[in-house]
Amino acid sequence: MRADAEFFESTADARVESIPLSHLSIELGHFYSPDLSRDVDFFADHFRRIARWSATARAACRDAVQGKTARISTCVLIDDYFGQPESPRTLLPKLLAAAREGGLELDYLARESGCADPVDPADADPAEPADDAPAGLSLAELVEARIVEDPPPDSTGARPPVHHTGWLCNGQRSPATDRHEAMKRPSTWLPPAENAAVNHSIFADIELWRDGERGRQWSCAMLAAVWQLLRLGVLRDKGRRVAVPRPLPDELPDDWRRLPAVLRLNERAAPFSAYRTMTICAPLFLPIENAVRTIMQQVAVDPAVLDQLGGRGADEGIALPPAVVDRIEYLFVDTGPVHGAGPG
Amino acid sequence: MLVLGEVQTTALRHSGDVPRELAESVLALLAGERVRVSERPIGYAVSPHTFTGVDCRIAARSGARVRGVGTLMGRVCLTGGRVLQSSAVVRVEPVGGGYRRAWSHYLARLGVVETLGRTDLPGTAAAHLDADRRASTMGMGALCNRLLAEVQGSSLLDRRPPVRARRTVLRWAALTDEDVQAARVRLTVREDGLRSVRLLLGQAAVADVVALCEDLALHDWLLTALLSIIEQSQIGVGEPVQIIHRLRPAVDHLLHLWMPAARLDGFALSVWEGLEGRPGLSRQWDASVRRIRDQIAMAAALVNRAPDAVQLFR
């Protein structure tokens, strides 16, 4: 008789860490540095204008979970990457007071640099000293590595991945026609084409990064895509959680970079990441969000993470759309005057 | 279900030992993903799965072609710190409709190519296996090439493979059918050197089929490499010392790697057992190993012999 033997080696199986999840993550603001120095009234006006839309999003979520307690968290994103906002000591109390005045509660605040800087090696597990962890990759690098480009018709596996240009599009570019090389006939203009066009194309070409003297600068669109994926709880570094929200320190520093990527402002907040996200923003953000969606369409999330989220959703009676880009929603509304929301 | 694949097998271009850290570094094909390493029963490391988008025509035997859209899975594995393999795998799934969906749809089902239109799966399998060596389905061969080049080009490797042996290409197609009771396998060595494996299976997970085909390709390459070393050693022609010198890489680097189905179970074991009956890969391996050991024993017997006694061994 043969014994039924089992043998495991722990590094040989690829487990992914699980994270706490809300039903919905509502983004109440994406503030650029020109606006971040405004007074408390500016922010209060912003929050007052979107309060009714936030309430509607909450009501829709409560309906969707059918009588169970809806777990909803709110967040704002501040730009400390393209500009230098006021110090946390000044800005944080101002934001919190304005939100209260507008009838909203801020649960989490994230820094845009947190998406571009190397992942915080510190882990919640004190048994594993952080010194052992090699310098991590940035969240943006983790996402870029997972981009699987939308192939134009007649592409086979022989087509090498194009990682080196910093541009990502949703189709085929128009061939360059402006070369005036000797001995070369000028070619006729050909239009670009969207791969999944319905009759006519809406071609989008997105700049992900640009390399300069001070290294790589990620685009606002890329960082915003990372931000959406982080909120959807689908990012991992070697199977481990990334940018875990940390509570506010007792004493606020002067420099944003001394704060974690995601700060928990409200101790009773529902989990930061969620099955779905709702972003309430001004119509001015539409081009950026189109770029975000174009990027997210081409990010191949780890199937093990997708399975894990899908399974947990199913246990709660929630059917998640298979594609992560279909888990994000928007409300484009008048949020008052906005400065600096250019496609950076 | 139809799963198609190609495996290319070669020697890692590195003369020294391959400790775990080195294996992890050279196989790190995807940032933020782990290289999986196991030590028992044989050293084995496998890269993260990578994916490549395709939108191309897929041949069926009848000559008809159908458009397929989706992603190919590619990975690289290293066995015993010596044998490097790249693998391209795709599950072909016919869908209704006939139009291409948003790309996010295909990224939610990685490793699947959906065919837009009527598809004859057995015909597609046959076309894949019968295709010219240079014209692999959906560019799988080119993908395997690229993956191998990416690893072999690592600056951490010294580019001096201790064993010189040809790269082998094994193409496979697995059709599953719930009514099938016992797995069936057909291994063909084509005139142009390409190996093809056709599998007909009952219920089977794609990962198990891939592991089986990589294991078959690994052992086919080991046997090919060993036979090539024996052939080049000029047994019965050259001086014993020279023969031993030429056989030595096999002893140093190959003989301990033969371990059929080391990490397999279920239907994969039964496929291996079937192949051991005919063509009997292990039988040929064992005979070749005995031949090498006999040569070494004979050479040892010749050492320190008086010149007149040496004549007896000529």
Nearest-by-Cβ selection for A196 from B36, B101, B108: B101
Over residues A185-232, the pLDDT tens digits come to 666 888 999 998 888 999 999 999 999 888 899 999 999 999 999 999
Residue B314 pLDDT > 80, yes or no? Answer: no
Q: Do A170 and B103 touch (CB under 8 A)?
A: yes
Phi, psi for B233 (deg, rounded to 5): -80, -15
Interface of A with B in 280-299 (CB under 8 A): 296-299
- Residue A190 exposed, middle or buried by CB count within 10 Å (0-12, 13-18, 19+): exposed
**What is the per-residue burial (b if ≥16 Cβ within 10 Å, else e) of A89-125?**
eebbebbbebbeebebbbbbbbbbbbbbbebbeeeee
Going by their DSSP bridges, the two strands A167-169 and B83-95 should be labelled as unpaired
Q: Is A338 helix (H, G, I), strand (E, B) or coil?
A: coil
Q: Do B32 and A13 touch (CB under 8 A)?
A: no
pLDDT at residue B308, rounded to an integer: 61
pLDDT at residue A127, rounded to an integer: 45
Q: How far is B134 from chain A (nearest CA, A)?
A: 11
* ipTM associated with this complex: 0.89
Residue B304 pLDDT > 80, yes or no? Answer: no
Residue A129 pLDDT > 50, yes or no? Answer: no
Name the pLDDT band for A141 (thresholds 50, 70, 90).
very high
Nearest-by-Cβ selection for B103 from A160, A298, A306: A298
Residue B313 pLDDT > 90, yes or no? Answer: no
Name the pLDDT band for A4 (thresholds 50, 70, 90).
low
pLDDT at residue A342, rounded to an integer: 56
Residue of A nearest to B263 (CA): A7
Give one DSSP letter per residue of A36-96, joined into a string.
Answer: HTS-HHHHHHHHHHHHHHHHHHHHHHHHHTTTSPP-EEEEEEE--SSS-PPPHHHHHHHHH
Name the pLDDT band for A9 (thresholds 50, 70, 90).
low
Average pLDDT over residues A272-285: 97
- Cα–Cα distance, A276 to A28 (Å, whole number): 15
Average pLDDT over residues A91-117: 95
Average pLDDT over residues A88-116: 95
Q: Do A155 and B108 touch (CB under 8 A)?
A: no
Residue of A nearest to B45 (CA): A12
Residue A35 pLDDT > 70, yes or no? Answer: yes
Residue of B nearest to A7 (CA): B40
Going by their DSSP bridges, the two strands B65-79 and B50-59 should be labelled as antiparallel
Nearest-by-Cβ selection for B110 from A152, A195, A303: A303
DSSP state of A164: S
Over residues A312-324, the pLDDT tens digits come to 999 999 999 999 9
Average pLDDT over residues B273-292: 90
Q: Do A301 and B34 touch (CB under 8 A)?
A: no
- Identify which of A125-139, A321-335, B184-198 has the greatest average pLDDT: A321-335
pLDDT at residue B73, rounded to an integer: 97
pLDDT at residue A295, rounded to an integer: 97
Residue A125 pLDDT > 50, yes or no? Answer: no
Average pLDDT over residues B247-254: 92
Name the pLDDT band for A134 (thresholds 50, 70, 90).
low
Over residues B207-223, the pLDDT tens digits come to 999 999 999 999 999 99
Name the pLDDT band for B299 (thresholds 50, 70, 90).
confident
pLDDT at residue A130, rounded to an integer: 47
CB A317 within 8 A of CB A66: yes
Torsion of Cα atoms, A272 then A278 then A279 then A283, to 10°: 180
pLDDT at residue B118, rounded to an integer: 85
Going by their DSSP bridges, the two strands A274-281 and A328-332 should be labelled as parallel
Per the structure block, which two tokens stand in for B204?
């089977």
Question: Within an 8 Å CB–CB cutoff, is residue B163 touching chain A?
Answer: no
Question: Within an 8 Å CB–CB cutoff, is residue A170 touching chain B?
Answer: yes
pLDDT at residue A128, rounded to an integer: 46
Q: What rounded mean pLDDT belongs to chain A?
A: 88
